[in-house]
Amino acid sequence: MMTQLPCDDPKDLLRALYAQMQPESLFPLWEKLAALIPAQPDSPAKVHKWAYERIREYLMRAGGLISATQAERRVLILENPGLPGSSGITPSLYAGLQLILPGEVAPAHRHAQCALRFVLEGEGAYTSVDGERAIMSVSDLVLTPGGQWHHHGNASGQPMIWLDGLDIPTVRHFDASFAEKYASEEFPENAPAGDSLSRYGRNLKPLRGRVADRRPTHQPLFHYPYAEWRASLEALASGGAMIDPQLGHALEFFNPADGGSIMATISAHVRLLPAGFESRDRRSTDGTVFVVVEGRGEVVIEGDRIPLYPRDILVVPSWRASRFRADTELILFGYSDKACQEKLDLYREENL
């Protein structure tokens, strides 16, 4: 009668196989599938809030040590504590606070990345986009779309501080970054300040004849003033419109060329929550960066209560349920990668 020899343990054989494959950059999908295709989003980004006055203190100290010209952009990065070393506030978005002191110019350059500026402090500085200035006021939204020359200047007598929001991590993911410095500090002016706003900011556009418009057809508008969007939000809230139980009264900024998002990779919106209003829980796949524009309240995110004060900056990562409550009338600005997700047919939201 033959004696059957014991078989080697299959687990040991698999481990040996993995070790032999690894030098050839081959790996077993079955060991990684659950992590590569999770049942629902599981962002490494963390919920986090930055208090404006704390950031401002550090930013002003930096302003005394390095000029806007030396730095090219004097900015403090708001890096998510769950994404160390990434410079990202979410896996797809960047945020930073930029300071321009009186008399300074942040020199002209252009890059593949799309950027927005949301003004937090100061009046009268400007962002120049392809030779047209947008004179900036608190809570204005100003865009510098990818590929367009831009610089910033401050002829006022006070510091100007704004939030920069860019798609740097998205562009880095696709290895598609290009950047170029202009030959001189300022790009030459070729239109009066506010020209694009007067042409495209009233649901009208120039009728094209033989003379081509100097603004890109796909991205004509780059300035959304606070005075205008705040009035529209107030009119919505006071005009008898039913309040959305998850969002409050909310308006999305759009591109007048196509009715879509403000830029190809970034969406932005504003919300008004009346005093005493508490939203219902909502979650969505777009990680969102919020700025408290006006008022006080709190947000509850997966059981954690976070107080909200003017100019606080809050990041809510993908698929984290959030619920806002307004102690006083609360105005929020937010930007996210919703535009990019919608183009890729990835965006999802859920009202709880």
Question: What is the tens place of the pLDDT at every residue in 223-264?
Answer: 999 999 999 999 999 988 799 999 999 999 999 999 999 999
d(CA 100, CA 74) in angstroms, rounded, equals 7
Residue 279 has pLDDT above 90, yes or no: yes
Q: What percent of the chain has pLDDT over 70?
A: 97
Cβ(89)–Cβ(50) below 8 Å = no
pLDDT in tens, 281-309: 999 999 999 999 999 999 999 899 999 99
C-alpha distances (whole Å) from 198 to each of 192, 202, 206, 253, 263 are: 10, 7, 10, 17, 20
Mean pLDDT of 162-174: 98
d(CA 54, CA 60) in angstroms, rounded, equals 10
d(CA 283, CA 33) in angstroms, rounded, equals 25
Domains of the chain, by residue range, sit at 44-185+193-200+220-347
Cβ(351)–Cβ(246) below 8 Å = yes
d(CA 115, CA 152) in angstroms, rounded, equals 13
Tell me how many degrees the CA angle 188-191-194 measures, rounded to the nearest 5.
120
Domain 44-185+193-200+220-347 part of CATH 2.115.10.20? no
Grade residue 210 by pLDDT with cuts at 50, 70 and 90.
low
Would you state the pLDDT for residue 5?
Answer: 47
Higher pLDDT: 217 or 263? It is: 263
What is the CB neighbour count within 10 angstroms for residue 122?
A: 21
Would you state the pLDDT for residue 205?
Answer: 83
What is the CB neighbour count within 10 angstroms for residue 67?
A: 14
Q: What are phi and psi of 54, to 5 degrees?
A: -65, -45
Calculate the average pLDDT of the chain.
Answer: 95
pTM of the model: 0.94
